[in-house]
Amino acid sequence: MSKQAKFNRDEVIEKAKNLYWEKGYHATSMRNLQDVVDMRPGSIYAAFGSKDNLFKEALNRYAETSAENLADSMAQETTALGGLKRFLRNVTICNKGTAPSGMCMIVKSVAELTQNDSPDLLAQAKGILQTIEASFANIFQQAINNGEVSTQKSPAELARYFQVQLIGLRTYAQVTNDINAVEKFIDDIFKELH
Amino acid sequence: MSKQAKFNRDEVIEKAKNLYWEKGYHATSMRNLQDVVDMRPGSIYAAFGSKDNLFKEALNRYAETSAENLADSMAQETTALGGLKRFLRNVTICNKGTAPSGMCMIVKSVAELTQNDSPDLLAQAKGILQTIEASFANIFQQAINNGEVSTQKSPAELARYFQVQLIGLRTYAQVTNDINAVEKFIDDIFKELH
DNA sequence: AACAATAATGAACGATCGCTCAACTTTATC
DNA sequence: GATAAAGTTGAGCGATCGTTCATTATTGTT
């Protein structure tokens, strides 16, 4: 009995994520979203509830994809530090042309959203960044176990250090477009870690 | 002849800057601005032309204030690196409670604005970040001349490094609120530079 | 006191915002 | 083919957006 939905939920979330990522939360209107996902407002609201909730799903999708990208980078390298370096190069240099924005969607969200007007969206974005940092800590633990790391720092400290470099450098790359400088910067980071 | 304006232009720009800084460009409405500057729409438009133009003036004011804050930090320390460290501590830890946002207003703007919907606002924000980096380079040149710096890096490289740490750490501090971690991070940065 | 010149006001414009819902379409079941 | 259940549609709601402009208020000059 009943009719089955004709839209593909995964594809819709993917397209919504890309639009939110490009334009940010406030600058993305429901009509913009209706256009890119090719659905009428009634269907969108039946399926996702609200603009806020769709943004939440978009954030989660972004987090999933980021985790996959990190895993892919790790899998393509023989060392843990090599994997992290590949990941860092990907987000700052390689993927810059293809992605909806050169900036990290989560950092964009943390920068845009305030505690007053969307506390749970902000909390979710912050939580995702913490999760990512925790996965970096796991990787650095591996790197330490493998004897790849020269410094005395703990996995948590190394993860924090890497997170700051990632956020800072990705934003920096957005401003300058100086690929050579970014490349050199990344090399310096890993020269020091080794 | 004529009537003289009763509002104080500097104060109005200051208040507008603080609201834009807190809420971001898109989430700040002209009616929000009318409230905080206590002016009617006709007066605002006669004085500033448009929401975009008022935002430009706000960005410039922010840049001026940032330059003053940097100069103040430098003046309060005997060494160039000490001044930079004070500045970095100020924006990530000390001023966090009092400022409209823990984030840098320029970084927020670069994150929020896109090439398509406001190219000149974006260009101006990027330009301000370049100017700030150039002032860091001057300071590092002094530090090198004074023999404060241990590394072989050029002033431009050191400025880029500092800019990335500043952007990354300020954003990081916004996410975690872990003051001890940030404090330690800053200490590590300057341990290495010395 | 009359006159320019400029500033301040705020109602209101057309556009767009997030969102709703009554009407309609499609499907599975009997 | 009648019925029930669920998905789709899009006109349109009230609110708010950035902005305009006719009107009013305030000033220095004559």
- b/e map B130-150, b = 16+ CB within 10 Å: eebbeebbebbbbbbeeebbe
Nearest to B125 by CA among B23, B173, B55, B172: B55
**CB distance under 7 Å to strand C: residues:** A 1-4, 28-32, 41-42, 45, 50-52; B 1-7, 39-43, 46-47
Report pLDDT digits (tens) over B12-66: 999 999 999 999 999 999 999 999 999 999 999 999 999 999 999 999 999 999 9
Q: Tell me if B165 and A163 make a contact (CB, 8 A cut-off).
A: no
Q: Tell me if A165 and B164 make a contact (CB, 8 A cut-off).
A: yes
Domains of chain B: 60-193 (1.10.357.10)
Question: A114: which chain B residues are within 8 Å (Cβ-Cβ)?
Answer: 22-24, 27, 101
- pLDDT score of B182: 98
Q: What's the CA gap between A17 and A108, in Å, rounded?
A: 13
Mutation target vs A (from B172, B184, B186; most A CBs, 10 A cutoff) = B172
Q: Which of B111, B130, B166 sits opposite A112 (nearest CB)?
A: B111
Q: Which nucleotide is nearest to A47 (CA to C1')?
A: D7
The percent of residues above 90 in pLDDT, for chain A, comes to 93
Contact A44, A54 (CB under 8 A): yes
Q: What's the CA gap between A174 and B136, in Å, rounded?
A: 19
Q: How far: A63 CA to C26 C1' (Å)?
A: 36
Q: List protein-proximal bases of chain D (any atom < 7 A from a CB).
A: 4-12, 16-22, 25-29
- pLDDT score of A192: 93
Half-sphere exposure of residue A109: CA atoms within 13 angstroms, side-chain side: 28
The 8 Å CB, 24+ separation contacts for A44-52 are A47/A5, A47/A7, A47/A9, A47/A12, A52/A118, A52/A120, A52/A121
Q: What is the pTM of this model?
A: 0.96
Asked if the model's pLDDT at residue A180 lies above 80, the reply is yes
Q: How far: B6 CA to D27 C1' (Å)?
A: 11
Question: B187: which chain A residues are within 8 Å (Cβ-Cβ)?
Answer: none
Could you identify the residue whose CA is nearest to the C1' atom of nucleotide C10?
B40
What does the CA dihedral B101, B104, B110, B113 come to, rounded to 10 degrees? 20
Q: How far: A127 CA to C11 C1' (Å)?
A: 46
Q: What's the CA gap between A39 and B100, in Å, rounded?
A: 39
Residue B180 Cβ < 7 Å to strand D = no
Length of chain A, in residues: 194
Two tokens, residue A121: 């969206």
Per-residue pLDDT of chain B (194 residues; tens, 9 = 90+): 677 878 999 999 999 999 999 999 999 999 999 999 999 999 999 999 999 999 999 999 999 999 999 999 999 999 999 999 999 999 999 988 899 999 999 999 999 999 998 999 999 999 999 999 999 999 999 999 999 999 999 999 999 999 999 999 999 999 998 999 999 999 999 999 98
CB atoms within 10 A of CB B97: 7
Report pLDDT digits (tens) over A124-136: 999 999 999 999 9
The secondary structure element, H or E, covering residue A156 is helix A155-176
Which chain B residue's Cα is nearest to A129?
B175
